[in-house]
Amino acid sequence: MRSRYRATYVRCSDCGYVRADQPHWLEEAYADSALDVLDTGIAARNIELSERTAAILAWNRPRAGICVDHGGGSGLLVRLLRDRGYDFRWRDPYCTNQFARGFEATAGTHYDVLTAFEVMEHLTDPLSSVRSWFQEADFIIISTELMPARDNLPGQWHYYMPDSGQHVGFFTLATLRTLAAQLGLNLTSDGRWLHVLSKGSLPSPHFMRLIRKRKWRRLLLRHNRRRTLAWSDQRLLATRYAMPDGRQTLET
């Protein structure tokens, strides 16, 4: 982490999963913020993920009700998806909700969809985490960049992010297939970055690859548009946080 520690990586000979061995620096890595200062692509990534998620739901879960974004960071993705008409809630034990205040997840809720974007590579025990998520939802969308077949060593592949110290597990498609099989789940993937796990039906890999292109996902969303929740959210929050003198306050 920021050149202070030396990491040893271990690779599974069966599925290709690579993990940092005994990442003792994690508490320090998250001490300031889970949102690393080096993550300059965070805004563009959330915009793209909001479009891809909405496209997947429009195609495969058109009646999706309450959903949750686990590891929701600043809340930007939740706000973007609510603006698209999807009732997403925010959850993140390491971050402050800035963009989706008032729409936090509630313990004990069963969700139609759970998203966990750029979370898997942070986990020391991904199998247990995914198992726990499926106690909350039957349809899960995750993002994590798959390890390339070549030039995948530390210093060659950018996704190790050694300066942040937060990425400790790295997946191949075989890794995700093994994880799904161990949990009795179905898996689909775009083969690069975005993946869906479900106990039921899934979009096809062809569809997942198709929505990598903006023109196709926007064409799909043009014909499967929901009414935005932006203005109804505003009215709800104005009522919820109204003070006796008519002013509003939003607790943090």
Q: Is 100 among the domain residues?
A: yes
Number of domains in the chain: 1
Calculate mean pLDDT across residues 181-197. 98
Per-residue pLDDT band for 240 (boundaries 50, 70, 90) equals: confident
Q: Is 142 among the domain residues?
A: yes
Q: Which two tokens stand for residue 179?
A: 């994880």
**Class of residue 49 by CB neighbours under 10 A (exposed 0-12, middle 13-18, buried 19+):** buried
| CATH number for 142 | 3.40.50.150
What is the predicted pLDDT for the residue at 252? Answer: 44
Per-residue pLDDT band for 250 (boundaries 50, 70, 90) equals: low
Q: Is 218 among the domain residues?
A: yes
Q: Is 92 among the domain residues?
A: yes
Q: Is 32 among the domain residues?
A: no
Q: Is 2 among the domain residues?
A: no
Compute the C-alpha angle 205/217/62, nearest 5°.
80
Measure the CA–CA gap between 45 and 51, rounded to whole angstroms. 10
Q: Which residues pair with 19 in a beta bridge?
A: 10, 169
Cα 204 to chain centroid distance, Å, stands at 20
Lowest mean pLDDT among 91-100, 197-206, 227-236, 242-251: 242-251
Domain extent for 96 = 43-158+172-240
Q: Which residues pair with 20 in a beta bridge?
A: 9
Measure the CA–CA gap between 28 and 25, rounded to whole angstroms. 5
On whether the pTM is more than 0.85, the answer is yes
Per-residue pLDDT band for 165 (boundaries 50, 70, 90) equals: confident
Q: Is 208 among the domain residues?
A: yes
Per-residue pLDDT band for 40 (boundaries 50, 70, 90) equals: confident
Q: Is 5 among the domain residues?
A: no
